[in-house]
Amino acid sequence: MRIGAPRAAGADPRLVAVTPDAARRLAGLGHDVVVEPGVGDGARLPAHEYVAAGARVADRADVWGADVVVTLDPPGPAELDLLRPGATLVAQLAPATRPELLAALAARGVTALALDAVPRISRAQSLDVLSALSNVAGYRAVVEAAEEFGGMFTGQVTAAGSTPPARVFVIGAGVAGLAAVGTAVSLGAEVHAFDVRPEAAEQIESLGARVVRAADAVQQVSADGYASAQSADQEAAALRAYAEQTAQADVVITTALVRGTAPVTITRTMLDAMRPGSVVVDLAAPGGGNCEATVPGQRVVTDRGVVVLGYTDLAARLPQHSSRLLGTVVVNLLTLLTPAEDGRLALDLDDPVVRGMTVAHAGEVTWPPPPVPVSAAPPPAAPERVATPAADPGAERRRRGMRRTVLGALGVVAGGLLVAASPPDAVGHLTVFALAVVVGFYVISNVTHALHTPLMAQTNAISGIIMVGALLQIGDSSPVVTAIAVVAAALAGVNVFGGFLVTRRMLGMFRRGAS
């Protein structure tokens, strides 16, 4: 079949749904690819690369008249007139908010597949355009914030003094939020993040950020993994957490969207409490904005000097990367629709992924799709449970604390008895030993991970001293002393050998060419 890739129909021509690499892979599926002149100019993809990939450059009418038309933006009235009956359109169509467009496509007999209506199931993740672009937008949000912020994200230690790292607060830990968290952490910022979904805390911590906790704002785990509208009490608790964090933050990145609508998370009162020069990047600007000062598509500076960025084209500001992701999604979709790789489209409406994306077919509007079945088997019956009193969450902590206190007291008593029964010369040795244990414990336990390798070298030196002392005691007249010296020398030797071996392997990781 002939696949047409026109220039973007919307106001932003930088993104392209079919890259030269995608065109080459589509040709491998048996399709003929035609592109409009200048289709890749915004992403710096010249026409000769498309030709080298096996595509053909044709005029606009020829491209829109193809069997399958792939574009990012929904078509306007002029483009609708160029679509031929029976054609297949692949685009972002916003089917929930544009019923008139769906009706027009159905009236022309066009089969429409909405890239922004992919079912949220594991098998469809490779087709999820929204997640791919959200990931780019989260990264770009940090870049924009770094451009506006009047300092470095990472802390600095110089001869002239030191500067603390920037403090970044991210609201929402979805795809965009986690991308922003990871980017800010990699730049050296001190990152704090909050999400109403309790399952997001582990993901935040895995990226090296600190989780902001507000127990009264946490929602139960949702069936689809997305946040739902908060109750009044939950919203109030969340706003209290936002107010506390924004007052300390240098950069705030908001990503909260509930079914496409942006709830208010940053009030004007919170903006007034932020330091002059602070930056707010509102990734929810396309949905109206999380910040009360957000103007979608614009940069706003408040009276207090806080910069609020409401850009709606963050993914398009990295056109090459975003277009590459879009092209991969299109290839994945057409691979699914061309199972025989013979250039023939097979629209299997029994497939829940295909059915979920199909919003118009055979002259009818097919939106909304039927619910996606999660499992064909009925869930197992829950076993009967005997009601038990709610456990006190602090009881176990108190029991552990009591055990530690009792054991510590017993240890002190035993040590006192040992000292009392020891000869005077041994008291001094026991005192030095006890102090060495205490000091060694606190020194080792408070060493940062970055110093483990040099610390290992120091412990190797200590083990070497122990080995020398043990060797000097071997052959003593007392068999007990000799036995202890042999064991000490053996253990110290193992420690020295193993320590140098591990140190060598760790240092080898930093040598050029090391795997």
Catalytic residue numbers, as ranges: 120, 125, 128, 131, 226
- Side chain identity, residue 142: V
- Rounded alpha-carbon distances, angstroms, from residue 38 to 35, 104, 250, 409: 8, 28, 41, 81
Cis peptide before 85 (omega within 30 of 0): no
Cβ contact 303:276 at 8 Å: no
- Rounded to whole angstroms, the Cα distance separating 513 from 515 reads 6
Strand, helix or coil at 156? Answer: strand
- Rounded to whole angstroms, the Cα distance separating 7 from 70 reads 10
Cβ contact 101:9 at 8 Å: no
And the tokens for 224?
A: 């689809």
- Side chain identity, residue 148: E
Cβ contact 255:230 at 8 Å: no
- Rounded to whole angstroms, the Cα distance separating 98 from 91 reads 13
Helix (H) or strand (E) holding 157: strand 156-158
Strand, helix or coil at 212? Answer: coil
476 forms beta bridges with none
- Rounded to whole angstroms, the Cα distance separating 53 from 27 reads 8
Of 258, 255, 178, 248, which is closest to residue 219 (Cα–Cα)? 258
Cβ contact 33:97 at 8 Å: no
CA angle 380, 382, 384 (to 5 degrees): 145
Phi, psi of 226, deg, nearest 5: -115, 155
Cβ contact 125:295 at 8 Å: no
